[in-house]
Amino acid sequence: MKELELKYGCNPNQKPARVFMKEGELPFTVLNGKPGFINLLDAFNSWQLVKELKEATGLPSAASFKHVSPAGAAVSVPLSEVEKQIYFVEGVELTPMSTAYIRARGSDRMSSYGDFAALSDECDEATAAYLAREVSDGVIAPSYTEKALEILKGKKKGNYLVMQMDPSYEPAELEQKEVFGITFEQRRNNFPINRELFLQNIPTKNKNMTDAAIRDLIVAMITLKYTQSNSVCYVKDGQAVGIGAGQQSRVHCTRLAGNKADNWWLRQNPKVLALPFREDIRRPNRDNAIDVYISDDCDDVLRDGAWQEVFTEKPEEFTREERKAWIAQMSGLALGSDAFFPFGDNIERARRSGVQFVAEAGGSIRDDNVIETADRYDMCMSFIGMRLFHH
């Protein structure tokens, strides 16, 4: 098939809409549902991310996309008991592929609501069963087991979008994009991100770039290749835990992503784990309540009457001082930036969220200030020498 007609474009008034190949056949097959314009933008960006991540790490990889940027991305690293609890998968069968997607979706569960999922490897029954219980719009993978496909075809009253991507497909060297009737053309960003990249230029006094840090920086930088710029990414244990996308100021991007990383960590606090949720509360409502509980708006979910909507009894207040003390325990995080940090303030903000390893392009006239700030906190920082803007 060379062409696929779509319902409409980004918005209902944008008709007609289609995707097509100038040469050859479309490299994907729709196994269930009907894709929309934005579905396909998410599908192809997320597929590139997980395909590249699997090639770089050798681990099953997954992504959770919303509006052409990842809400989360991860490789398959076993979940701790606490992580199983905060991702609501206690007692659930886990496989390498399902673990990768559970991590990707767990990065920012609120943003992943209604996501598009991408899987680097075959979608097995465990992954399909997890997708079936979450609010998601579609999935793309290289293949599906018979049972997995059966499960997914039953989601959303039979309308869940299931796409199979040809894993051998390689696009042309040059890519084109049309804006306002004007055609842009550029070489695809084939810049390789691998282990050696983070060892070639370490300007900080601390040069102890551990294997775990390299894995996490690979996750960060490949995630950033497919995130709307400006963008930064915080990673812990092979999982993006804070992604800041599309900010005009890099420090605002660092703050946004850092706040998301803080929220991911706050979800693991004993007070949050012990919240007495009513049995009839759906997971999205739990996510919303947790998000309010760990914020400065904590009183909104604890005020008289409000707590009864989600809890069996009124929880203790989670004070700002308690939250600050818990966040201070974060450590070992990796931070990637899609371009150089122009000032040391980005490093200052990253430190507050437990960052110990950094990767950025380098090349700023203030590199000395950034290096000095990283040295102040004994961080290990790599200059990769390449900008990774994505638009």
Q: Which residues are catalytic?
A: 66-67, 230, 391
User: Rounded to the nearest 5 degrees, what angle is found at the Cα of 284, between the Cα atoms of 279 and 289?
Assistant: 75
DSSP per residue over 331-366, as a string? --EEEEESS--SSTHHHHHHHHTTEEEEEE----TT
CA 146 – CA 244 distance, rounded (Å)? 37
CA 27 – CA 39 distance, rounded (Å)? 15
Beta-bridged to residue 336, according to DSSP, are: 233, 359
Radius of gyration, alpha carbons of the chain: 21
Name the nearest CA neighbour of 88 among 118, 128, 130, 124: 130
Q: Strand (E) positions, 110-188?
A: 115-119, 136-141, 161-165, 174-179, 182-187
CA 344 – CA 199 distance, rounded (Å)? 22
Beta-bridged to residue 236, according to DSSP, are: 239
CA 38 – CA 65 distance, rounded (Å)? 11
User: What is each CA distance from 127 to 97, 100, 292, in whole angstroms?
Assistant: 7, 9, 29
Relative orientation angle of helices 96-106 and 125-133, to the nearest 10 degrees: 30
Q: Strand (E) positions, 188-296?
A: 231-236, 239-245
CA 112 – CA 117 distance, rounded (Å)? 9
Q: Is 252 exposed, middle or buried (0-12, 13-18, 19+ CB in 10 A)?
A: middle
CA 256 – CA 237 distance, rounded (Å)? 20
Please name the residues in contact with 223: beta carbons below 8 A apart, sequence gap of 6 or more.
Answer: 49, 53, 63, 70, 73, 233, 235, 240, 243, 336
Distance of CA 338 to the CA centre of its chain: 15
Are 359 and 374 in contact by the 8 Å Cβ rule? The answer is no
